[in-house]
Amino acid sequence: MSDRYQGFASTTIGRMVVKNLGLPNPTPLERWSDGGPLVDGMVVLGGSGRLGEVLPTTLDGLGIASATELEEGASAKALVFDATGIEDTAGLVALQGFFTPLMRRLASCPRVVVIGTPPELRSGSERIAQRSLEGFTRSLGKEIGRGGTAQLVYVAPAADGALASTLAFLLSPKSAYVSGQVVRVGAHGATSTDEVADWTRPLAGSVALVTGASRGIGEEIARVLHRDGATVVGVDVPQAASELQTLMAELEGDHLFLDITAKDAPQRIAHHVKEHHGGVDVVVHNAGITRDKRIANMAEDRWNSVIAVNLTAPELITRELLDSGVVNAGGRIVGVASIAGIAGNVGQTNYATSKAGVIGLVESLRDDLDDGITVNAVAPGFIITQMTAAVPFATREVGQRLNAMAQGGLPVDVAETIAWFASPGSGAVNGNVVRVCGQMMLGA
């Protein structure tokens, strides 16, 4: 499942061909390894807003070094700009003043995070200025190059102290394939400042339910949540029993074989986690299928099966777990949407409908959850798996190159994003849909 083009582009002759023909030249992305630092280098802080004292203290608590300026000849691993103090459009020049001198002093695979105030919480000129930050960060994500990423984090004033988990993710190699995203912290009433006892095992003592866990992205989600300390309950169809049993035995987890579209599936899942684990802390709706055809040739069974697995089952399972009180206080519900649900895709009207519906599920629940429970979703782009390896070569190459990083993502990129949502420190991260797509050129 390796990227052969990227391997070729890194050879001597490949570098020459890429340069002379002006072809994409993807930078090998840094990904986090267990025991590694969150940030291997200096974070430079800028801006003048209400987070002036919060940011250095938060980064220090994460073991991340920060400063307000670089020493001569040094490079920055990340830039964090507090734009909460920009109150009108004239003040936007502060972005240029901070970033222009530093963009040529960035290390490989750098991170950029701009922090603003949710525009809907402001009015007049300040609202206009804060909304302008989206265009800046999305464009910067396409300019930064060298495996770099750029994100905008809108922080509600009541959630200023709840940034640690989000910064730990966005500034680290864990967010390798996430760029050009707008994240809202505390925008939907959740302003938790829950402490994380051990940032290397934030899910210690928790129970995580993962559907479609036997292979591919689901397997990697299970592995990462286990790495972070969770007891994983893997769910998959009986046909995948052997693979799921082997994986759960390796992860010292639990398993449940069932078809999630079965009429009694929600009740069986709720009963299992209640009886065997006392409840569940993290619910990841990963199971999904495709049955591609253009709508002109779409049979009813193709349509119904995709909607049933990808959308109806997650909705019914979630409601059963919530209504029966099986989701513990502070629980995390995470859906797996898709870039197809945002931008659409030829031959995938059924799939795109189901994945847009997952986003709708997040929007329908985000303002109504109690007890510190949150709901979010990831929307993967082109992720290199056994399934995408079977895609025709030309289609596969276009899918991998049509993003700011000119390469496909890995299952671990989706899993790391879900682990951030799942963290007990992410109590203020609610109602978000974050694309894991290397800032794909399609969609918002």
Cα–Cα distance measured from residue 205 to residue 194, given in angstroms and rounded to the nearest whole number = 15
61/148 same-domain check = yes
In sequence order, what are the beta bridge partners of 245?
A: none
**Domain assignment present for 190:** no
Q: List the chain pLDDT tens, one digit each, 444 residues.
A: 567 767 767 787 777 766 777 777 789 999 999 989 999 999 999 999 999 999 999 999 999 999 999 999 999 999 999 999 999 999 999 999 999 999 999 999 999 999 999 999 999 999 999 999 999 999 999 999 999 999 999 999 999 999 999 999 999 999 999 999 999 999 887 666 667 888 889 999 999 999 999 999 999 999 999 999 999 999 999 999 999 999 999 999 999 999 999 999 999 999 999 999 999 999 999 999 999 999 999 999 999 999 999 999 999 999 999 999 999 999 999 999 999 999 998 999 999 999 999 999 999 999 999 999 999 999 999 999 877 766 666 677 777 888 999 999 999 999 999 999 999 999 999 999 999 999 988 665
176/215 same-domain check = no
Question: Shortest CA distance to 369 belongs to which of 174, 161, 190?
Answer: 190
Q: Is 351 a catalytic residue?
A: yes
264/413 same-domain check = yes
Residue 96 has phi, psi (to 5 degrees) of -65, -40
**Domain assignment present for 270:** yes
Name the pTM for this structure.
Answer: 0.95
Q: Which residues contact 272 (CB under 8 A, 6 or more apart)?
A: 233, 256
Q: Are 388 and 382 in contact (CB under 8 A)?
A: yes
* Strand ranges for 117-159 from DSSP E: 149-155
CATH number for the domain spanning 123: value is 3.40.50.720
In sequence order, what are the beta bridge partners of 67?
A: 44
**Domain assignment present for 127:** yes
Catalytic pick among 5, 154, 177, 351? 351
Cα–Cα distance measured from residue 431 to residue 444, given in angstroms and rounded to the nearest whole number = 17
Question: Shortest CA distance to 377 belongs to which of 311, 320, 330?
Answer: 311
174/229 same-domain check = no
In sequence order, what are the beta bridge partners of 383?
A: 409
**Domain assignment present for 196:** no
**Domain assignment present for 125:** yes
pLDDT confidence of residue 444: 52
CA angle (301 as vertex; 295, 306 as ends), nearest 5:
75
In sequence order, what are the beta bridge partners of 207?
A: 231
Cα–Cα distance measured from residue 179 to residue 434, given in angstroms and rounded to the nearest whole number = 9
260/354 same-domain check = yes
Domain end call among 154, 185, 216: 185
Q: Which domain does 387 fall in, by range?
A: 207-436
Q: In the sheet that 254-257 helps form, which strands lie side by side, from edge to edge?
A: 254-257, 231-236, 207-211, 280-285, 327-336, 374-380, 433-436
Domain count, the chain: 2
**Domain assignment present for 318:** yes
Domain end call among 128, 154, 185: 185
272/394 same-domain check = yes
152/255 same-domain check = no
153/217 same-domain check = no
131/53 same-domain check = yes
Domain end call among 140, 155, 185: 185
pLDDT confidence of residue 46: 98
164/254 same-domain check = no
171/222 same-domain check = no
Cα–Cα distance measured from residue 435 to residue 159, given in angstroms and rounded to the nearest whole number = 23
**Domain assignment present for 406:** yes
228/132 same-domain check = no
DSSP 118-162: -GGG--HHHHHHHHHHHHHHHHHHHH--TT-EEEEEEE-GGGTT-
The SS3 of residue 276 is helix
**Domain assignment present for 55:** yes
